[in-house]
Structure 1
Amino acid sequence: MSTYLYGANVHANGIRQHYLRYGGTDGARAGRDAVVLVPGITSPAITWGFVGERLGSQFDTYVLDVRGRGLSEASDTLDYSLDAQATDVIEFAKALGLNKYSIVGHSMGARIAIRAARSNPAGLTRLVLVDPPVSGPGRRAYPSKLPWYVDSMALARKGCSAEDMRSFCPTWTDEQLKLRAEWLHTCDERAILASFDGFHDDDIHADLPHIKVPALLMAAERGDVILEEDVAEIRGLLPGVETTRVPGAGHMIPWDNEEGFYRAFGGFLGAEL
């Protein structure tokens, strides 16, 4: 049975924020913290719907369209900075009256979660940081290259098939490729360029010592987004952080090893998935 409830919009932090809701607050979920899922740089909320379904089985779950993606607000005057994105999440939780909530962020979404947690917002109880880019000032570049994003978005804006997307995402299933082909055009190029620049200009490592809530760092076994020396540095900056690697997975962890992704949470959020 699906846990999907509805999609909706809320005015928070001065913009329209679109989200998908799963699970609700009935049964055992009533006693557990809500979960706000923040996707990566070119992942509209709908592309994380399958994860929302699973999280919704145990938690009241909200999957965000980050500003400039999906059905959330976008414009040529909108601030696409990490600070604005982080404040969006905090104000989103306030607007929906989420008194206690966890943030699960993937890639860019994990960097947003780190910046949001730095200010210790009321109601935030824990963080799950899924393969966050550890690039920044004076650090090695993020391994994915900008043309991969720009070229695939240009193709999607023209209208393309799942097969057209295969050269960009060769390991994805037909269903995953169809969803990306359908929704990638909703990613505003201005937002993606700003966020990609932010991967190299924003210093999330400086935020880590200010985080006061429990955190779980989930890294991919394959790929080079997070190396072992990066894990060690994060442990030093954020004492007590739990760490795990998902076997057989690249950066898009639940696409590569969905069940391994859910197992990696353990009971960290308050119930196993």
Structure 2
Amino acid sequence: MIDTPYRRLASTLGGLIRNPLSAIGLSLVVLFVVIAVFAPQVAPQDPIALDPVHRLLPPGIHHLFGTDENGRDILSRVIVGTRLSLLGAAGILMIGVVIGVPIGLLAGYAGKWIDEILMRVTDIFLSFPSLVFAIAVAATLGPSIRNAVIATGVVWWPWYARLIRGEVLKLKHQSFVEGAKILGAGSLRIMFLHILRNSLTPLIVQVSLDFGYAVLTLASLSFLGLGAQPPTPEWGEMISAGQSYYLTQWWYVTFPGLTILVAVMAFNLLGDGLREVLSLGRAR
């Protein structure tokens, strides 16, 4: 039977659905993506419209998640914030992959002094606590959601460089690589077409596992005032704005916090399921 991309995708989805935990993770991730895509249509009210008359209302029929100190509907802000959080996390991982994968490919394939220099630079980045490093970079660039994404992406690349380098070291002496060399394939073609193509499974798994942590890191920077700025509806910024109301208006920070919790859990469950399914696929 011919193995096509559609057949592999169907097999992967089937494996995820058969596992209850990964099925839950997949369902939640799909729900978050749908909400992010249709956020303006799904949100019941304008997320930034001020309504001082209805400030700090508890959850009820008209405001399921309550309202904030400016009378804005928290449910609408959480829904619209889903798009910003997912896009921000995707941007973080894209930066990490775009920087880290070529470095890992070059280090593993070239070896010798090139590998030594690139890995020592990678070690320097890894020697700093990632969140502290991201805070320092974001503070240098200035508070904004774009700068927070850039700062976190710059911190994230060393893990992908290490991951891909390890895969290259395992694959570069395989028979299909030696065959490509004999046929006259250039180094770039071998690295990107042959080696990277066979390294996509661990890369996809790692990205899926990192997505939730990217959401959490971005929310952390916004909580500290280095990410999204008011009145932008972003989960971390909402928690930061509502922390002074926590003891009396519990709903203000509870619902954005629960949303972050569920999002991180969903991507972790999906990542674990993908790792199991794709690993079995490679073993076969």
- Shorter-chain TM range is under 0.3
TM-score computed with the length of structure 1 as normaliser: 0.25
TM-score computed with the length of structure 2 as normaliser: 0.24
The structure having more radius of gyration, on CA atoms, is 2
